[in-house]
Structure 1
Amino acid sequence: MFPSWLSLLHWKPLKMEGLRRAGDGIMPLDTIDLTTTDEERPVVRLLSDSNNGYYLCPICKSLLDQPVTTTCGHIFCKECLTTALDQLHYCPLCNMFVLDFFRIYF
C-alpha cells in the first residue's frame, strides 16, 4: 500500500479553531471616501485644469481613444496599451505585471 492510502485509513476531521478566514479580525489601514466633492479635492481639479479638463494618454500624448485601465490603475488608449502589452506584460508606467485591462466609460 502507498503511504497516502494508509493515511486515509486513519483520517480524522479537522477542528476549526480561531479565525475561519485570513482577513477576519484585520482592520483596514485607511478608508477611502468616494463621496467628497470637487471643492474638497483641489489636487484633482488642478491636474485636470492643466490639460483643459482632458486626460492625455501617457504613451501617445494624445486625447484618450477608447480609454482602458490596468489593474494598477493607470489609464491608456486601448490601442496604445494593447501594443505595449504585446511586447511585455508590464505596465508602461510602473512596470507592474499586467495580464488584463478594463474598458473605462466616461
Structure 2
Amino acid sequence: MPDEYYKNNYAPQQGTPRTRVELNRLGSSGKVERSTVIYDQAGKQKFRVDYSDHGNAKHHPNPPHLHEYTYQDAGKSIKDKYLYTYDPKTGRMRKSEVDKKTNEIKYID
C-alpha cells in the first residue's frame, strides 16, 4: 500500500456499536503501526490499543498501551482521555500520565 493510505488511516470516533476494528497507519514513528479500536454500545470509540511506542518509549513504554475515552454532552465531545501502560514491576496495565518534570511515565492509580 502507498504511504498516503497509511497516513490517513484513522479510526473514526463514531463507529458501529459493540464492534472492534483493526487498523494499520503510518505513525509518528515513521513506521506502520497497528491498533485495535473498540466501540461502545452507542458506537463511540471507547478504547484504542496501540501496539507500538510511536517512536517515544518514554511516553509509551512496554507496548502495547491502551487509551480510554469518556464523553460528555450526551456523547458529542470527549471529556477525558486516559492512558494505561504496562508496569513490569506489577505485571499489569496501570493508569498513567506523563510527568511534566521528568518527561517520563508516572503511574496514577
When normalised by structure 2's length, the TM-score is 0.24
- Please state which structure has a larger fraction of its residues in strand: 2
Larger radius of gyration: 1
- Please state which structure has a larger fraction of its residues in helix: 1
When normalised by structure 1's length, the TM-score is 0.25
